[in-house]
Structure 1
Amino acid sequence: MTSGSDPASGASGSLPPQLRPVRRISARRRDESHRVASPLELFFDLCFVVAIAQAGGQVVRVIADGRAGEGLLDYAMIFFSIWWAWMQFSWFASAYDNDDVLYRLATLVQIAGVLVLAAGVSRVFAEHDFLAVRLGYAVMRLALTAQWLRVAGATTGTERGMALRYAGGVLLCQAGWLGVLVSPGPVRPWVFLAMAIAEICVSPYAERRVKSSWHPHHISERYGLFTIIVLSESVAAATAAVKSGIEENDALAELLPYAAGGLLLVFAAWWICFAVPIHGHLRSRRQAFVWGYGHYVIFASAAALGAGIEIAVRKEVGHADLSRLAANATVTVPMAVYLVTVWALHSRFFTAGVIRQLVLPGSAGAILACTFAGHWSILAAGLVAALTVATGTALTVRTAAREARTA
């Protein structure tokens, strides 16, 4: 073996392409086999959940203090920033992840950005100060812009144009986000809404001539893993609330219905979301666009579910300044929204017959009715969710048996 072909020689040109520290970035194939989430992507998701946990903890405090409208508005704005940065990276990575040193460094910079954002969450809820949140968001978006510029430098033609439009659109939006910082309080939500719409329009504008080569199985796995992590955070938040209530107020008997009902709700949320694989449905850009963007509601409602359970527990032990009906609604409304959204984006494409189609919307209505069940509201909602899973499973088995007999 010559020194030019010896990997130990340290010359990057002598290494196989997959081992070189810096490699040309190019589109990955949509039909690539065994395409799964990488360890870096899993690390990325876990760090993003830190920001979600911060937002959930702060919204619990604000709602428990009787400022629900104010808290929910701030929560929605912060959650959009987290979700949008996560989603844009996930779709980029599905198309262009080459896992070289520059790609890893840019991803780690995005992680640093979300941690800056997480550090500023409490100031948003306490003082409506968005400076740290916007700074962290800008760090994440500028790091992704650098990735798109890498693509532009390594490609030609329409693909290069797409990459430049992405980079330019993201940069223009970052300038626009300054308006959120300088706008007065009553106007700020409207400025935020305008900038959120502008951000959403960047992707259709950038890909109007050529589409990025995202991988259906990979992108569905990424969304599924993030859903699991968010649901796990809901379990952690609810567990901490019940533990605190038991230790500080000796309220084990009073909190058992909340613990049992909350656990049933989270278990059912997981089961329903992963009843059937979705990647086969993501055949076109339009289908993937609606599905991917619609997950804002799924992620936000899944995160809000844990916060709601914590608020309901606080109300039970006398640490929340709101009515029992309102406290119950912080659990039942997110769960109902979650069920309807999962049905609209996912389940309805894999169910046949009116009865099966009505299971999730009907369950959402029944869970909303549980809001009025007083102390037993959360347990009742959990039992309805468990019954929903059992009913859906039974109908699926019966349909499969019927199809097998007629085959």
Structure 2
Amino acid sequence: MTSDAASESGPRRSRTAASRRPLRRMTARGRDEVHRVASPLELFFDLCFVVAIAQAGVQLVHAVAEAHAAEGILNYAMVFFAIWWAWMNFTWFASAYDNDDVLYRVVTLVQIAGVLVLAAGVSRAFEDHEFLAVWLGYLIMRLALTAQWLRVARSTGGGERRMALRYAGGVLVCQIGWLGLLLLPESGRPWLFLVMALAEMCVPPFAEKDFSTSWHPHHISERYGLFTIIVLGETIAAATVAVKSGVDENDALGELLPIASGGLLIIFAAWWIYFVVPIHGHLSSSRKAFLWGYGHYVIFASAAAIGAGLEVAVEQAIGEAHISTLSASAAVTLPTALFLLTVWVLHARHYKVGVAQQLVLPTTALAVILCTLLGDWAVLAAGIVSALAVFVGVTLTARTVAQEEAAGAPAT
């Protein structure tokens, strides 16, 4: 080995050895890292959230099917916020500070345990308005997150250290505030939820007022996309189980086939519309990223609610739900329209050219809502409308690309 080769291999060996240390300083990762993708631990973390999402969906189905839609939607909004916010806190932290050492992995697994405790308490929260298990699960997750931020503070200095301490303090103060769910009378809990949800969402802008974390745009967009796939997958699973039960127990294939077909078209269209453009290029500033990230509460909640709505439609079709056909149809069409409209606001409108392209998704959302009036065929009609939106969007985009290429082509 030459002296030059030896001098190059020395630093390489030292860097490799440093990356294998069980404990490492928790310093920021570079925002310009190439090939930054989700880690196996992050994927495992996401999959464990499916349990909580499924529990929230099941309880929403029961509430709507028993004609308690208003109460069910309120409880669903509160519980889903807890699920989404815990996931989002970890996701953005990991994008900036995932050093993948032993302690980081252990603390993340503790957070997963908190998710499972929260999931175990979802049914009590819906049925008995008992939030102790949900609060305890959240406490486990938030204490683990606070420990991560304190590690950042210990490993850094200056503005970054102050930012990390603000995060740690804000998380703890908000967790204390959530005690109100256990102490206040039932009538005051929705108001407490509103106040605490706003307080939680104020923590990141406050913490990063003079120092921004080095989250990775491509990594963040991939993480959100993967979670969208997981939520849509849970929607398919829930709807499939409902249809299977209806066919096995009631021999109602004819009544359920339009619902199953329309639901599948809706979910396929939802996937296509969400992933039609690479969104990471839009996340060019913290302000845009905050608004985009917060807006996904509606995307995730509505995507999961589509599955719950399909279950409600199945139960109504086989006579097990105590609601009208109109209400059952609305349980599918309203979250579908909300999903389409929110994806347009957060994603699609930034990449559309001309009025025709901009109007596709808002018009589709309106048409899906009108499908509610079609009775037993409402879900199938909504699925066809959603699929047509994909077709029209692809056609308009192809036409625009062809015109641009023609305009830029050299004269012959």
- Partner deviation per Cα, 1:76-119 (whole Å, 9 max, x = no partner): 00000000000010000000000000100110011000000000
Q: Which residue of 1 aligns with 2:261?
A: 260
Q: Which residue of 2 aligns with 1:364?
A: 365
Q: Which residue of 2 aligns with 1:41?
A: 42
In structure 1, C-alpha distance between the alignment counterparts of 2:280 and 2:127, rounded to whole Å: 41
In structure 1, C-alpha distance between the alignment counterparts of 2:192 and 2:51, rounded to whole Å: 26
In structure 1, C-alpha distance between the alignment counterparts of 2:71 and 2:15, rounded to whole Å: 59
Offset at 1:66? 1.3
Structure 1 unmatched runs, 5+: 1-12
1:335–1:14 distance in 2 versus 1, CA, 3 Å: closer
Q: Which residue of 2 aligns with 1:337?
A: 338
Are 1:99 and 2:100 an aligned pair?
A: yes
Q: Which residue of 2 aligns with 1:4?
A: none
- For 2:263, the aligned partner's letter is G
Offset at 1:297? 0.2
Count of paired positions: 395
Offset at 1:15? 7.0
Q: Which residue of 2 aligns with 1:58?
A: 59
Q: Which residue of 1 aligns with 2:207?
A: 206
In structure 1, C-alpha distance between the alignment counterparts of 2:157 and 2:125, rounded to whole Å: 43
Q: Which residue of 2 aligns with 1:5?
A: none
In structure 2, C-alpha distance between the alignment counterparts of 1:378 and 1:393, rounded to whole Å: 23
1:210-249 mapped onto 2 (5 Å cutoff): 210-249=211-250
Q: Which residue of 2 aligns with 1:351?
A: 352
Q: Which residue of 2 aligns with 1:112?
A: 113
In structure 2, C-alpha distance between the alignment counterparts of 1:135 and 1:89, rounded to whole Å: 17
In structure 2, C-alpha distance between the alignment counterparts of 1:193 and 1:334, rounded to whole Å: 21
Structure 2 unmatched runs, 5+: 1-13
- For 1:392, the aligned partner's letter is G
Q: Which residue of 1 aligns with 2:5?
A: none
1:5-404 mapped onto 2 (5 Å cutoff): 16-404=17-405
- Partner deviation per Cα, 1:347-366 (whole Å, 9 max, x = no partner): 00000100100000000000
In structure 2, C-alpha distance between the alignment counterparts of 1:364 and 1:56, rounded to whole Å: 22
Q: Which residue of 2 aligns with 1:7?
A: none
Offset at 1:142? 1.0
In structure 2, C-alpha distance between the alignment counterparts of 1:15 and 1:382, rounded to whole Å: 52
In structure 2, C-alpha distance between the alignment counterparts of 1:125 and 1:170, rounded to whole Å: 25
In structure 1, C-alpha distance between the alignment counterparts of 2:139 and 2:84, rounded to whole Å: 14
In structure 2, C-alpha distance between the alignment counterparts of 1:98 and 1:300, rounded to whole Å: 30
Please identify runs of 4+ aligned residues in structure 1 that moved more than 3 A: none
Offset at 1:65? 1.1
In structure 2, C-alpha distance between the alignment counterparts of 1:28 and 1:85, rounded to whole Å: 21
- For 1:318, the aligned partner's letter is G
Q: Which residue of 2 aligns with 1:9?
A: none
- Partner deviation per Cα, 1:118-151 (whole Å, 9 max, x = no partner): 0001111111100000110111111000000000
What secondary structure sits across from 1:56 in the alignment? helix
Aligned CA RMSD, in angstroms, stands at 1.0
In structure 2, C-alpha distance between the alignment counterparts of 1:265 and 1:334, rounded to whole Å: 11
TM-score by length of 1: 0.96
